[in-house]
Chains A and B, each alone.
Chain A
Amino acid sequence: MTMLELNGSLDLEHFTLKVKLEIKKNETVCLLGPNGSGKSTILKLIGGLNKLTAGDLRINTKVIDSGKTFIHSRFRNVGWVPQNQMLFDHLTVKQNIEFSPNSSKKEVSKLIELFDLQHIQNKKAGNCSGGESQRVAISRAIASKPQVLLLDEPSTGLDEKSKQIIYQYLKTQRGVATLLVTHDPVEAASLSQRLIILEKGEITQVGTPDEIKTSPATPYSASLVGLNFVPALANGLVAVTDKGVELILSESIQGQVNIVIPPKSIALYKEKPVGSPRNVLMAKILEIHHFGENVRINLDGQLNFIAEITNNAFEVLNLHKGDEVWAAFKATELITTPT
């Protein structure tokens, strides 16, 4: 059952936001996009803080924003958790959560327990830490018994404990259509069934985390799942990128293609490797991220791309930020799709 349907546009300062999206009753959908792509604006549209220029917005099949109708925020039954929480600092944690006239005592005490706020329920909200504030803000929105829950970057800058409590709730809760804005692909993939990618006001891809991982539609989508994405013009076994870099392909193909270079397929060298029919590019190390067994290295050169190597290899190579390295990858590792 579709709980929320948005099909409309809104003129913003630098671009027009054009969106068509649906959320089902029990679904959590993540809205992913770079800064300034209009993610928060979509939440504000649904919350009634912005008005559509064209098109319409329905919640539970009822039109709440169109050329003719505009239902005030107060009557939308939408739980908005803005990025900076907007707690009522002068009220206590409990008073914040029970602020909505739709809240019930029972529900409030349940939420206080669920979000582990018992020990601070009489504390002034203004004195809460970032993590506590976010837990209060989410509880407050849920206590208003919303049909749609809107979360704007709910885990940014939070302590691990708060993050876990919030994730736990979002993974187990049922019955509230949730739209979650984030820029963290890991969070998005772990919390939601469906991802919506928004770039410069337009939806560029919709799909499950798996779908996006296997066939990213744009460089941004690819970067989200950690893949290198290179549009190029292919002519037989060679493809040329828009910056003039030649990549050797394993299969002959003609015309415009998207080439995905999996980061794990890239090998790094301090000296230029010789004698193998591989793609070899020189690049400079921009950033180094350690995680788990592997190290991800952002490289900048003729192409911008990410390489992922093992900790062992990283130590043997003795790499540092700013070093110049040679990156090599086999033609057979490239995934080439015509567009």
Chain B
Amino acid sequence: MNRIPKTIVLIATIAILFLMSPLIGLLQRMPWSGLTNLLGSDIILDAFLLSLFVSFSAALVVFIFGIPIAWVLARSNFSFMKLLRSVVLLPMVLPPVVGGTALLFAFGRQGFLGKWLNDWFGLTLPFTTAGSVVAAVFVSFPFFIVAVESAFRSINEDLERTAETLGASSSKIFLKITLPRIFPSILAGLALSWARALGEFGATITFAGNMPGETQTLPLAIFLALETNPEAALALSLVMIVTSLAILVPFRDQWLPSR
């Protein structure tokens, strides 16, 4: 291994300390003695299960729709693709609350699409778990697309062309050549967007509302508890940290490109 310059080590240490300190603060204030009581409460259990459901559903939706979008973005040369890419990445920079409001304008009962959904199918997304998933999908989409699009781009197109000259169908090429080669990036994208969906707060509370067992995910429960029951908020935060570590750490090798 190369020797790392001392200055680099110093700067990295400062950054790590900075990133660690809120976590330490959280753990330091944690009401360890009353933790079992707090964690056993229905509100926390509901929020935890709901958060798992919402974040994994969002990751699934993002996976299904994200791959085609990323593929189109990576492979089309139309000039409006640049514009399309900015639109797709917009949720990354948009404050989530604004995103939630925008979702209301689209899928809310008075939204231009929501109105139609409501009139024709009697379907309302706000105030339902499906609405929470929609909010989570919206904010986590770009993370998946960025990861997968760059993977699509990194594939040498001659590889696919070679497969074509061998007589393979485009679906065979996609499934046997393209997908396996970007698989690590797909996992990385999934991990990132899942994590983003788990932590989602602003768009969810704005679009889906706050209802225990239905739309009250862990971050919403934490926010509410922060004002009314700070100890419960800390316990909930611990649940979130442990959950995300439990999911992300075992798969670290998969979503971080190996050396």
Does A274 lie at the interface of the complex (its beta carbon under 8 Å from any beta carbon of B)? no
Measured between C-beta atoms, what is the minimum distance from A93 to chain B in Å?
15
Contact between A48 and B165 (Cβ–Cβ < 8 Å)?
yes
Q: Which of B158, B169, B176 contacts A82 (CB 8 A)?
A: B158
Chain B 147-188: CB-based contact to A (< 8 A → 1; otherwise 0): 000000000101101111111111010001100110000000
Q: Which of A72, A80, A91 has the most CB of B within 10 A?
A: A80
Least Cβ distance of B15 to chain A in Å? 35
What 0/1 pattern do residues 264 to 279 of A give for CB contact below 8 A with B? 0000000000000000
Number of A-B contacts (CB under 8 A): 61
Q: Which of these, A49, A86, A90, A101, contacts B167 with CB under 8 Å?
A: A101
Q: Could you tell me the distance between the alpha carbons of A72 and B173 in the complex, rounded to whole angstroms?
A: 14
The answer to whether B166 and A99 have CB atoms under 8 Å apart is yes
Chain B nearest CB, measured from A72 CB (Å): 7
**CA distance in complex: A49, B168 (Å):** 15
Closest B residue, CB atoms, query A101: B167
In the complex, what distance in Å separates the CA atom of A50 from the CA atom of B162?
13
CB distance from B53 to the nearest CB of A (A): 33
* Alpha-carbon separation in the docked complex, A49 to B159 (Å): 11
B180 touches A73 (CB 8 A): no
Q: Which residues of A contact B166 (CB under 8 A)?
A: 79, 99-102, 140-141, 144
Q: Is A17 an interface residue (CB 8 A)?
A: no
Cα distance A84–B159 when bound, in Å?
10
Report how far A100 CA is from B172 CA in the complex, Å.
Answer: 10
Q: How far is the CA of A48 from the CA of B166 in the complex (A)?
A: 12
Give the residues from 144 to 179 in chain A that come closer than 8 angstroms, CB to CB, to chain B.
Answer: 144
Indicate the size class of the contact surface on chain A: 20 to 34
> Beyond A88-B177, A90-B181, is A80–B162 a contact (Cβ under 8 Å)?
yes
Whether, in the assembled complex, A200 has its beta carbon less than 8 Å from a beta carbon of chain B, the answer is no
Given the interface contacts A82-B158, A86-B158, A90-B180, does A99 sit within 8 Å of B163 by beta carbon? yes
Q: How far is the CB of A45 from chain B (nearest CB, A)?
A: 12
Q: Does A77 contact B (CB under 8 A)?
A: yes
Nearest Cβ in chain B — how far from A98, in angstroms? 10
Given contacts A88-B163, A90-B181, contact A101 B158 (CB under 8 A): no
A73 to B165 alpha-carbon distance, docked (Å): 5
- Please give, as numbers and ranges, the residues of chain B lying within 8 Å of A80 by CB-CB distance: 161-162, 165
A72 proximity list for chain B (CB < 8 A): 164
Chain A 46-85, CB within 8 Å of chain B: the 1/0 string? Answer: 0111000000000000000000000011111111101010
CB proximity of B190 to chain A, nearest CB, Å: 19
Minimum CB–CB distance for A85 against chain B, Å = 9
List, in ascending order, chain B residues with CB within 8 A of A140's CB: 166
CB of A81, distance to nearest CB on chain B (Å): 9
CA distance A91 to B176 in the complex (A): 9
Question: Within 8 Å CB of A73, what residues of B?
Answer: 161, 164-165
List residues of B (21-65) whose CB comes within 8 Å of A's CBs: none
Is the CB–CB distance between A74 and B165 below 8 Å? yes
> A88-B177, A90-B180, A90-B181 in contact; A74/B164 too (CB < 8 A)?
yes
Minimal beta-carbon separation of A66 from chain B (angstroms): 19
6 closest cross-chain pairs (CB), A and B: A100-B166, A73-B164, A86-B162, A80-B165, A144-B166, A73-B165
Q: Which residues does A use to contact B, with CB under 8 Å?
A: 47-49, 72-80, 82, 84, 86, 88-91, 99-102, 140-141, 144
